Amino acid sequence: MTNNLIKQILKGDARAVASLMSLIEDGDPKVKAVLKAIYPHTGRAHVIGVTGAAGTGKSSLIDRMTAEYRRRRKTVGILAFDPTSLFSTGAVLGDRIRMRDHFVDDGVFIRSFATRGSSGGVSAAVREGIHLFDAAGKEVIFVETIGVGQDQLEIAALAHMVVVVLTPQMGDEVQGMKAGLAEIADILVVNKADLSGADETLQQLKASFADEDFHIVATSAIKDQGIDSLVACIETHWSESLDNGKYQRRRLSLCRQELLSLLREKVFAKLAKKIGDDSFETQVKLIAERQKDPYSAVDKLAKLIGI
């Protein structure tokens, strides 16, 4: 059964991919054996993180960029951290129908994750999803995350490049985000350029980031404007990174972070089991009652497992 599943995944069979995705979401122990078998066939896809506040138009942009990549005869995978993010509640019916066009296209796989059954978190599930789409032959993989706090850093640990989506309405907020943006963004998009204030926002961003080396692109997902420039910009950035060594460094960094998080998960699970829930909860109560401080408590637990 597993061998057959592996064979079908490598052929790019949509049903096989979907069934493994469900196992990934459940945190099923069978998944690891399949991932080990398909891993040698990964490393070909270009993984693009798309992040930004809710409602900025990330899903709409991914939808339009997917159409553009399909025109360029590239296959696409789309992953999202939570099921609501691909269809915002504000989206009009027309948007949903457009995204649905891709559902019936064999060249496009779409998947979002709810919670993760086992340990490791959604981030680990998304990472496994990326490997799966990659092994199944998808050439471009979009990962949509809402850019608040932790997720924003997580996306940088998952993708080869990060596109941050802003809108003209955000104006002054952008100043406050400057440091954070510079840290993670490879490309800044001012979406909803059909709304008033777009030019000012664009000028303001260009001035603020004059000394940074990332691109700034204006788009209107709804009017399908600027999408070809955005995709061209992504492709240029990609080939430049391949040439100047940035991609290779990024790849090492992604592998390092993946290995570290797997190691952390494994070591922690093992040690947590050794300590046991009871001893842990006993310490928690002692801390809450101020009979103990957390620093001495951790020393005590560490002693239990001989570290």
Ligand X SMILES: Nc1nc2c(ncn2[C@@H]2O[C@H](COP(=O)(O)OP(=O)(O)O)[C@@H](O)[C@H]2O)c(=O)[nH]1
State the residues that interact with ligand X by CB under 6 A.
52, 54-60, 85, 88, 90-92, 95, 191-192, 194-195, 220-222
Buried b (16+ CB within 10 A) or exposed e, 248-282: eebeeebeebbeebeeeeeeeeeeeeeeeeeeeee
Residue 307 to residue 305: CA distance in whole angstroms: 6
DSSP state of 85: G
Shortest distance in whole angstroms from residue 296 CB to ligand X: 46
**Interface stretch with Mg ion, choices 58-66, 103-111, 198-206, 207-215 (CB under 5 A):** 58-66
194 binds, among Mg ion, ligand X, none (CB under 5 to 8 A by kind): ligand X
* Closer residue to Mg ion, CB minimum distance, 59 or 283: 59
Shortest distance in whole angstroms from residue 223 CB to ligand X: 6
Shortest distance in whole angstroms from residue 49 CB to Mg ion: 13
Shortest distance in whole angstroms from residue 225 CB to Mg ion: 19
Residue 25 to residue 120: CA distance in whole angstroms: 11
**Interface stretch with Mg ion, choices 51-59, 67-75, 205-213, 235-243 (CB under 5 A):** 51-59
156: three-class secondary structure by DSSP: helix
23 binds, among Mg ion, ligand X, none (CB under 5 to 8 A by kind): none
Question: How many residues appear in the chain?
Answer: 307
Residue 71 to residue 179: CA distance in whole angstroms: 36
Shortest distance in whole angstroms from residue 151 CB to Mg ion: 12
* Closer residue to ligand X, CB minimum distance, 225 or 257: 225
Query: Could you say whether residue 85 binds Mg ion (CB under 5 A)?
Result: yes
In terms of Cβ atoms closer than 10 Å to its own Cβ (0-12, 13-18, 19+), residue 157 is: middle
* Closer residue to ligand X, CB minimum distance, 220 or 283: 220
Query: Could you say whether residue 59 binds Mg ion (CB under 5 A)?
Result: yes
128 binds, among ligand X, Mg ion, none (CB under 5 to 8 A by kind): none
User: What is the residue whose two structure tokens read 């510079």?
Assistant: 182
* Closer residue to ligand X, CB minimum distance, 192 or 215: 192
Q: What is the CA radius of gyration of the chain?
A: 22
57 binds, among Mg ion, ligand X, none (CB under 5 to 8 A by kind): ligand X
CB 218 within 8 A of CB 188: no
Residue 300 to residue 281: CA distance in whole angstroms: 13
Task: Give the pair of three-digit tokens for residue 255.
Answer: 């592998």
DSSP 250-288: HHHHHHHHHHHHHHHHHHHHHHHHHH-HHHHHHHHHHHH
* Closer residue to Mg ion, CB minimum distance, 134 or 144: 144
* Closer residue to Mg ion, CB minimum distance, 99 or 130: 99
Shortest distance in whole angstroms from residue 134 CB to ligand X: 23
- Site size toward Mg ion, by CB under 5 A: 3
Which stretches of the chain bind Mg ion, using CB under 5 A?
58-59, 85
